[in-house]
Amino acid sequence: MAGERGGSALRGGSGFSTATRLRAFGEEAAARVYRASTRRRTPRRGRLTGRAALLALVVCSLVVALAYPMRQWISQRAEIARLERQAEETGKAVEKLRDEKLRWQDPAYVERQAREHLHYVRPGEIGYTLLSPDREDGTQPGPDPARPNRND
């Protein structure tokens, strides 16, 4: 048959008709397709191809190249958050100090603080200091309770 002769019917077409050449060509094409399909059916070995190795190398190098900057970025974000909290707390402390400064500019507040903490009395008043039974060391706060404070 023409397919068994290795394609001689297609070459040197002097003795064969066109129909015979087309038939031989079809048989050879069918044989090639059959051989190709049987080759594909053999199980492929799971091996690392060159493209896959290159892809793995690129991915690994990207991971290594980005690991340190990402770690730095995360730590800097944490530092920024900490500093923002600290700034907020400092702002609140400044507000408290401003309020206290305004209170100290009031003469009534200054007088009350002097009376409470420094045991000041006005002229003509008698100041007394009460002993607290809760003190363990036996000391007495403020002036001697036996002698009242007199400012005449």
How much is the average pLDDT of 101-123? Answer: 93
- In the chain, which ranges are continuous DSSP H helix? 18-40, 50-104, 107-118
If one compares 22 and 60, the residue with the highest pLDDT of the two is 60
Mean per-residue pLDDT of the chain: 79
If one compares 113 and 149, the residue with the highest pLDDT of the two is 113
Does the CA dihedral 46-52-54-57 come out positive or negative? negative
Give pLDDT tens digits for 29-80.
777 777 776 665 555 566 778 888 899 999 999 999 999 999 999 999 999 9
